[in-house]
Amino acid sequence: MNPQSPPNPPRQSSPSAGHSDTHAPIMAGAAIELPASITVNGIAHAVMMVTPTAMEAFATGFAFSEGIIDSIDDLRDLTVSHLRRPLLPEAPQSANPSPEIDTITLELEISPRQWQRYRNTRQLRQGSSGCGLCGHEALATAMPALAPLAPSALPAPEQLQGLQALLAREQLQQPSGNGLHAALLRAPDGESLCCLQDIGRHNALDKVIGHALLQGVALENHSVLMSSRSSVELVQKAVRARLSTLLHLGSPSTLAIQLARHYRLNLLQVTRQQRVQVHAGPDSETTP
């Protein structure tokens, strides 16, 4: 994950959706959720429900997490477009016209080699803001084999202090609305590198992964602090991105713990009592 050169700067067809006055005043402060249609070389891939911030990072991270690209060099171009359209199809003889919403189109152009690989494995699936695994047709596609991480040390004890307050401060600086999941990327020395939010927890992590790809940041020995609980898809995304440590404010699922131990991902939980519980780490048992 050391990109040699970033893709062409994303092209935007209109100002960023979600920051116009169309959401005010009756929904002021509410978490913004919009549909984002993702295409790969002109072919529809998925529709994801997202919060429309850091869309370039999201598209890049999503493409990487989904295996559409294996490195930033595979992404030749990225276009972000915004279009206003009716929320619902018009019902016959309906007295109530459908409200209009902002929609987003993320057009990915990938390399010929990656395109051929993509065509051989492509699935059209519908995404949601709640579960990054929903819609897979087979267990093999939902649970692909990934290369285990190199063992890495846990963050230093001083980096594990005051994490709830740290994330709260970072979230206050984000103008995205209330009730969003946050993912905070931290360097090996504990420095905060970026905090990105989304209505979907897996989207928030995709944004951080995409940000790292676009900035040329290799995620070995880095950590991500997340406001949500940990689940399978977050562990998979972290392992594929070669991230060393995931920290969560919520408790992990049993399968997330099993996978984290298997792949040597450090998986920690910050409890409400400000204690740090290590669910997977250097001393954890691993599965066969």
User: Six-digit token pair at 102?
Assistant: 């902002």
CB 279, CB 268: distance < 8 Å: yes
Catalytic residue (choose from 131, 134, 194, 195): 131
Closest C-alpha among 70, 138, 144, 80 to residue 110 = 70
d(CA 79, CA 81): 6
d(CA 2, CA 213): 8
Closest C-alpha among 7, 22, 181 to residue 80 = 7
CA torsion sign for 165, 166, 172, 175 is negative
Active site residue 195: no
Which of helix, strand or coil describes residue 264?
A: coil
d(CA 52, CA 102): 10
Strand 34-40 to 43-50 pairing:
antiparallel
Which of helix, strand or coil describes residue 55?
A: helix
Q: Which are the contacts of 254, defined by CB distance < 8 A and separation ≥ 6?
A: none
Residue 125 CB-density burial (10 A; 0-12 exposed, 13-18 middle, 19+ buried): middle
Q: Give the residue numbers marked as catalytic.
A: 131
